[in-house]
Amino acid sequence: MNLKEKFTDLCLPFSKDQDLINRFWQEIEKKYSEKGRHYHDLFHLENMFLELETVKEYIKDPVAVSYSVFYHDIIYDAASKSNEEKSALRAVERLQQLGLNAEMISKVSSQILATKSHQLSDDSDTNYLLDADLSILGKDLEAYLDYTRKIRKEYSIYPDLLYKPGRRKVLKHFLELESIFKTSDFGERYEQKAKQNLTAELQLL
């Protein structure tokens, strides 16, 4: 998947300033390629787009959702508790510069903020975005364990003494949800396996 091409095609209806679009793409590429990123990288974006492609006929505003994918983790610091807020603010700044209307910018901002708590939304597009973001949880065990190793690397600043209790809390949070996935499409595909994977990791910690 050519993410640069996808981003450019997304921007051209709003701005013909190729230099501006290139600059914004380079920012995305640079941020998602930062040294400390092992999971929240460009491959994660690709995976989300591939997942969303399978449900594209149900997405009402694919442009907004696509911008949300590109910007939802643009600011990522394992030691910070405000990554989503900062990412949403960056998205608002960039989309204003591209000339998107206020309604769409607000929609993108809300979708990015929703990735903080992953709660069921009244907006179906947001639910599809959240499910694509968490789709790794329902993959085969080998892929899931690879994901857990990458997450651990991102939190390498923390010793096991601090990391493991925090990780247990996250896993229990997801397992206590009525359903991890908010849409029937993703739920049917991944819910059962996700719960098995989360339970398996919990037992390993």
- Verify that 35 and 85 share a domain, yes or no: yes
Last residue of a domain, one of 82, 105, 133: 133
CA 154, CA 163: separation in Å to the nearest integer?
11
- The pLDDT score that the predictor gives to residue 191 is 98
- Verify that 30 and 129 share a domain, yes or no: yes
> Which CATH number characterizes residue 91's domain?
1.10.3210
CB atoms inside a 10 Å sphere around CB 34:
11
Residue ranges of the chain whose pLDDT lies below 50 = none
Last residue of a domain, one of 93, 108, 133: 133
- The pLDDT score that the predictor gives to residue 87 is 98
CA 86, CA 96: separation in Å to the nearest integer?
15
CA 124, CA 56: separation in Å to the nearest integer?
12
- Verify that 39 and 100 share a domain, yes or no: yes
- The pLDDT score that the predictor gives to residue 175 is 94
- The pLDDT score that the predictor gives to residue 95 is 98
Residues 120 and 181 sit within 8 Å (Cβ to Cβ): no
- The pLDDT score that the predictor gives to residue 102 is 98
- Verify that 12 and 111 share a domain, yes or no: yes
Report the domain count for the chain. 2
Last residue of a domain, one of 115, 133, 151: 133
Query: Model's pTM, two decimal places?
Result: 0.96
- Verify that 189 and 125 share a domain, yes or no: no
For residue 105, what are the domain limits?
1-133
- Verify that 74 and 57 share a domain, yes or no: yes
Tens digit of each residue's pLDDT (9 = 90 or more) over 11-54: 999 999 999 999 999 999 999 999 999 999 999 999 999 999 99
- The pLDDT score that the predictor gives to residue 82 is 97
